[in-house]
Amino acid sequence: FIPIEGVRVRVWRWFWSTEQYTNYSGYFKTWDTYRRSVTYRVIWNQYHFSIVSDGWFWGFFASTYKHTGLYMRARWYLTVYTSPRPQILFHSHIFREAYHYYYLDIKGLRRPPINSFWRSPMKIRARFRYNSDDGTHFPFSLYVLARIRIYNPYRKAEQIYATTIHELAHARHADFTNYTWWGFANVDEKVQESCATGVQWELTRMKYPDYKGRERAKDNYTLVVADMIDD
Protein backbone atom coordinates (compact mmCIF):
# COMPACT_ATOMS: atom_id res chain seq x y z
CA PHE A 1 0.00 0.00 0.00
CA ILE A 2 1.65 3.21 -1.26
CA PRO A 3 0.32 6.67 -0.27
CA ILE A 4 -0.65 8.80 -3.25
CA GLU A 5 0.63 12.34 -2.84
CA GLY A 6 -0.80 15.43 -4.51
CA VAL A 7 -4.29 14.14 -5.37
CA ARG A 8 -7.05 16.75 -5.32
CA VAL A 9 -9.96 15.83 -3.05
CA ARG A 10 -13.21 17.76 -3.12
CA VAL A 11 -15.74 17.73 -0.26
CA TRP A 12 -19.14 19.30 -0.79
CA ARG A 13 -22.67 19.57 0.42
CA TRP A 14 -25.27 21.28 -1.70
CA PHE A 15 -23.68 24.55 -2.87
CA TRP A 16 -20.74 24.59 -0.45
CA SER A 17 -17.52 22.82 -1.27
CA THR A 18 -13.85 22.85 -0.39
CA GLU A 19 -10.76 21.22 -1.87
CA GLN A 20 -7.42 20.06 -0.53
CA TYR A 21 -4.52 17.95 -1.77
CA THR A 22 -3.25 14.77 -0.17
CA ASN A 23 0.09 15.02 1.61
CA TYR A 24 3.10 12.72 1.53
CA SER A 25 1.25 10.17 3.68
CA GLY A 26 -1.85 10.15 1.49
CA TYR A 27 -4.03 12.14 3.92
CA PHE A 28 -5.93 15.39 3.42
CA LYS A 29 -7.74 17.72 5.77
CA THR A 30 -10.29 20.41 5.01
CA TRP A 31 -10.52 23.57 7.06
CA ASP A 32 -14.29 23.72 6.68
CA THR A 33 -16.55 21.79 9.04
CA TYR A 34 -19.81 20.07 8.16
CA ARG A 35 -22.50 19.04 10.60
CA ARG A 36 -24.25 16.68 8.20
CA SER A 37 -23.36 14.18 5.48
CA VAL A 38 -21.07 15.26 2.65
CA THR A 39 -19.89 13.86 -0.68
CA TYR A 40 -16.23 13.18 -1.41
CA ARG A 41 -14.58 13.13 -4.80
CA VAL A 42 -11.04 12.28 -5.96
CA ILE A 43 -9.94 14.26 -9.02
CA TRP A 44 -6.92 12.92 -10.85
CA ASN A 45 -5.27 16.14 -11.92
CA GLN A 46 -2.74 18.74 -10.90
CA TYR A 47 -2.03 22.22 -12.21
CA HIS A 48 0.42 20.96 -14.85
CA PHE A 49 -1.22 17.69 -15.91
CA SER A 50 -4.43 15.68 -15.80
CA ILE A 51 -5.39 12.05 -16.29
CA VAL A 52 -8.26 12.13 -18.77
CA SER A 53 -10.89 9.81 -20.23
CA ASP A 54 -10.82 8.59 -23.82
CA GLY A 55 -13.14 11.31 -25.07
CA TRP A 56 -13.85 12.15 -28.68
CA PHE A 57 -11.62 13.55 -31.40
CA TRP A 58 -8.23 12.45 -30.07
CA GLY A 59 -9.03 13.57 -26.55
CA PHE A 60 -10.27 17.06 -27.41
CA PHE A 61 -13.49 16.43 -25.49
CA ALA A 62 -11.82 14.28 -22.84
CA SER A 63 -12.57 15.19 -19.26
CA THR A 64 -10.47 14.67 -16.16
CA TYR A 65 -11.19 11.40 -14.40
CA LYS A 66 -13.17 11.80 -11.19
CA HIS A 67 -14.11 9.14 -8.65
CA THR A 68 -16.94 10.00 -6.29
CA GLY A 69 -17.26 8.43 -2.87
CA LEU A 70 -20.34 7.79 -0.80
CA TYR A 71 -22.61 10.45 0.64
CA MET A 72 -21.84 10.03 4.32
CA ARG A 73 -21.22 11.68 7.66
CA ALA A 74 -17.77 10.30 8.41
CA ARG A 75 -14.21 10.32 7.20
CA TRP A 76 -13.58 8.71 3.83
CA TYR A 77 -10.88 6.09 3.46
CA LEU A 78 -10.13 5.06 -0.11
CA THR A 79 -7.82 2.11 -0.75
CA VAL A 80 -7.47 2.00 -4.51
CA TYR A 81 -5.74 -1.38 -4.46
CA THR A 82 -8.86 -3.08 -3.09
CA SER A 83 -11.41 -0.95 -4.97
CA PRO A 84 -14.00 -2.93 -6.95
CA ARG A 85 -13.32 -0.61 -9.89
CA PRO A 86 -9.94 -1.57 -11.42
CA GLN A 87 -9.81 1.67 -13.41
CA ILE A 88 -9.08 3.57 -10.19
CA LEU A 89 -5.87 1.61 -9.66
CA PHE A 90 -4.76 2.27 -13.24
CA HIS A 91 -5.42 5.99 -12.91
CA SER A 92 -3.59 6.15 -9.59
CA HIS A 93 -0.51 4.47 -11.07
CA ILE A 94 -0.31 6.99 -13.92
CA PHE A 95 -0.93 9.89 -11.55
CA ARG A 96 1.98 8.82 -9.29
CA GLU A 97 4.41 8.75 -12.21
CA ALA A 98 3.30 12.11 -13.59
CA TYR A 99 3.43 13.71 -10.14
CA HIS A 100 6.96 12.40 -9.67
CA TYR A 101 8.19 13.83 -12.97
CA TYR A 102 6.49 17.20 -12.47
CA TYR A 103 6.95 17.88 -8.75
CA LEU A 104 9.45 15.57 -7.06
CA ASP A 105 13.18 14.96 -7.33
CA ILE A 106 14.22 14.04 -10.89
CA LYS A 107 17.98 14.40 -10.40
CA GLY A 108 18.39 17.68 -12.25
CA LEU A 109 16.47 16.78 -15.40
CA ARG A 110 14.21 19.30 -17.10
CA ARG A 111 10.50 19.05 -16.28
CA PRO A 112 7.95 18.02 -18.93
CA PRO A 113 5.92 20.79 -20.62
CA ILE A 114 4.18 22.88 -17.96
CA ASN A 115 0.86 24.68 -17.89
CA SER A 116 1.11 28.28 -19.07
CA PHE A 117 -0.74 31.07 -20.83
CA TRP A 118 0.10 29.54 -24.20
CA ARG A 119 -1.00 25.99 -23.55
CA SER A 120 -3.17 23.80 -21.39
CA PRO A 121 -1.99 21.19 -18.86
CA MET A 122 -0.51 17.98 -20.21
CA LYS A 123 -3.32 15.52 -20.91
CA ILE A 124 -2.55 11.84 -20.35
CA ARG A 125 -5.20 9.43 -21.58
CA ALA A 126 -5.59 6.30 -19.46
CA ARG A 127 -6.86 3.82 -22.03
CA PHE A 128 -8.23 0.82 -20.20
CA ARG A 129 -7.56 -1.63 -23.02
CA TYR A 130 -4.89 -3.85 -24.55
CA ASN A 131 -2.51 -2.45 -27.14
CA SER A 132 0.66 -3.72 -28.76
CA ASP A 133 2.39 -0.58 -27.47
CA ASP A 134 2.30 0.12 -23.74
CA GLY A 135 2.25 3.85 -24.38
CA THR A 136 2.35 6.39 -27.20
CA HIS A 137 3.37 10.03 -27.49
CA PHE A 138 2.27 12.50 -30.15
CA PRO A 139 4.93 15.24 -30.13
CA PHE A 140 3.33 17.73 -32.50
CA SER A 141 -0.32 17.45 -31.51
CA LEU A 142 -2.19 20.54 -30.33
CA TYR A 143 -1.85 21.14 -26.62
CA VAL A 144 -5.62 21.00 -26.13
CA LEU A 145 -5.45 17.33 -27.17
CA ALA A 146 -4.15 14.38 -25.21
CA ARG A 147 -0.48 14.05 -26.18
CA ILE A 148 0.17 10.83 -24.23
CA ARG A 149 -1.72 7.55 -24.08
CA ILE A 150 -1.06 4.73 -21.63
CA TYR A 151 -2.40 1.23 -22.34
CA ASN A 152 -2.44 -2.29 -20.84
CA PRO A 153 -3.68 -1.61 -17.29
CA TYR A 154 -3.07 -5.08 -15.84
CA ARG A 155 0.72 -4.87 -15.86
CA LYS A 156 2.88 -4.62 -12.76
CA ALA A 157 3.00 -1.25 -11.03
CA GLU A 158 6.66 -0.69 -11.93
CA GLN A 159 5.93 -1.38 -15.60
CA ILE A 160 3.15 1.21 -15.76
CA TYR A 161 5.42 3.58 -13.85
CA ALA A 162 8.21 3.09 -16.39
CA THR A 163 5.91 3.56 -19.39
CA THR A 164 4.53 6.86 -18.09
CA ILE A 165 8.03 8.15 -17.33
CA HIS A 166 9.16 7.09 -20.81
CA GLU A 167 6.36 8.98 -22.59
CA LEU A 168 6.78 12.08 -20.43
CA ALA A 169 10.48 12.02 -21.28
CA HIS A 170 9.50 12.22 -24.95
CA ALA A 171 7.25 15.18 -24.14
CA ARG A 172 10.12 16.90 -22.35
CA HIS A 173 12.43 16.22 -25.30
CA ALA A 174 9.92 17.73 -27.74
CA ASP A 175 8.99 20.79 -25.66
CA PHE A 176 8.81 23.71 -28.10
CA THR A 177 8.98 26.38 -25.39
CA ASN A 178 12.54 25.28 -24.58
CA TYR A 179 13.44 25.03 -28.27
CA THR A 180 14.19 21.33 -27.94
CA TRP A 181 11.40 20.30 -30.32
CA TRP A 182 13.55 21.16 -33.34
CA GLY A 183 16.26 18.84 -32.11
CA PHE A 184 13.67 16.15 -31.35
CA ALA A 185 12.29 16.37 -34.88
CA ASN A 186 15.71 16.20 -36.51
CA VAL A 187 17.40 13.37 -34.65
CA ASP A 188 17.19 9.72 -35.46
CA GLU A 189 14.44 7.70 -33.77
CA LYS A 190 17.16 5.69 -32.06
CA VAL A 191 18.28 8.86 -30.24
CA GLN A 192 14.72 9.74 -29.24
CA GLU A 193 13.97 6.29 -27.85
CA SER A 194 17.36 5.80 -26.20
CA CYS A 195 17.05 9.10 -24.36
CA ALA A 196 13.58 8.25 -23.05
CA THR A 197 14.71 4.72 -22.16
CA GLY A 198 17.51 6.13 -20.05
CA VAL A 199 15.21 8.50 -18.16
CA GLN A 200 12.75 5.65 -17.67
CA TRP A 201 15.50 3.43 -16.23
CA GLU A 202 16.86 6.06 -13.83
CA LEU A 203 13.64 7.58 -12.46
CA THR A 204 11.74 4.31 -12.12
CA ARG A 205 14.58 2.91 -10.00
CA MET A 206 14.07 5.81 -7.58
CA LYS A 207 10.73 4.23 -6.62
CA TYR A 208 11.44 0.58 -7.50
CA PRO A 209 15.15 -0.08 -6.81
CA ASP A 210 15.00 -3.59 -8.28
CA TYR A 211 13.61 -2.39 -11.60
CA LYS A 212 15.85 -3.51 -14.45
CA GLY A 213 13.91 -2.27 -17.45
CA ARG A 214 15.16 -3.51 -20.76
CA GLU A 215 18.10 -5.75 -19.96
CA ARG A 216 19.02 -6.03 -23.62
CA ALA A 217 18.90 -3.49 -26.42
CA LYS A 218 16.01 -3.90 -28.83
CA ASP A 219 15.65 -2.11 -32.15
CA ASN A 220 15.85 1.64 -31.44
CA TYR A 221 15.66 1.25 -27.65
CA THR A 222 19.36 1.17 -26.82
CA LEU A 223 20.82 1.12 -23.32
CA VAL A 224 23.45 3.78 -23.94
CA VAL A 225 22.19 6.16 -21.22
CA ALA A 226 22.01 3.46 -18.55
CA ASP A 227 25.46 2.21 -19.58
CA MET A 228 26.90 5.70 -19.03
CA ILE A 229 25.35 5.90 -15.54
CA ASP A 230 25.70 2.50 -13.90
CA ASP A 231 28.90 0.73 -12.92
Task: Enumerate the H helices of the chain as residue ranges.
Answer: 86-103, 157-173, 181-185, 189-207, 224-229
Among residues 41, 27, 34, the alpha carbon closest in space to that of 13 is found at: 34
pLDDT score at 181: 58
Question: pLDDT tens, 79-88?
Answer: 888 777 788 8
Q: What H or E segment, with its residue span, contains residue 18?
A: strand 16-21
Q: How much is the mean pLDDT over the chain?
A: 86
Q: Residue 15: which residues within 8 A CB-CB, separation 6 or more?
A: none
pLDDT score at 212: 84
pLDDT score at 62: 67
Q: What H or E segment, with its residue span, contains residue 219?
A: none
pLDDT score at 97: 95
Q: Residue 74: which residues within 8 A CB-CB, separation 6 or more?
A: none
> Could you list the mean pLDDT of each consecutive 10-residue stretch along the chain, which spans 231 residues?
92 87 93 85 93 69 79 86 82 95 95 83 90 85 77 94 95 72 74 92 94 78 87 74
- Round to whole Å and give the CA distance between 79 and 69: 12
pLDDT score at 65: 83
Among residues 202, 195, 199, the alpha carbon closest in space to that of 221 is found at: 195
DSSP-derived secondary structure for 52-118: E---STTTTT--B-EEEEEEESS-----GGG-S-HHHHHHHHHHHHHHHHHHS--TTPPPPP--BTT
By the 8 A CB rule, do 139 and 148 touch? no
pLDDT score at 49: 94
**pTM (whole model) above 0.85:** yes
- Round to whole Å and give the CA distance between 23 and 29: 9
pLDDT score at 138: 84
By the 8 A CB rule, do 127 and 185 touch? no
pLDDT score at 66: 86
- Round to whole Å and give the CA distance between 82 and 103: 27
Distances (CA, A) of 55 to 61, 94, 123, 149, 171: 5, 18, 11, 12, 21
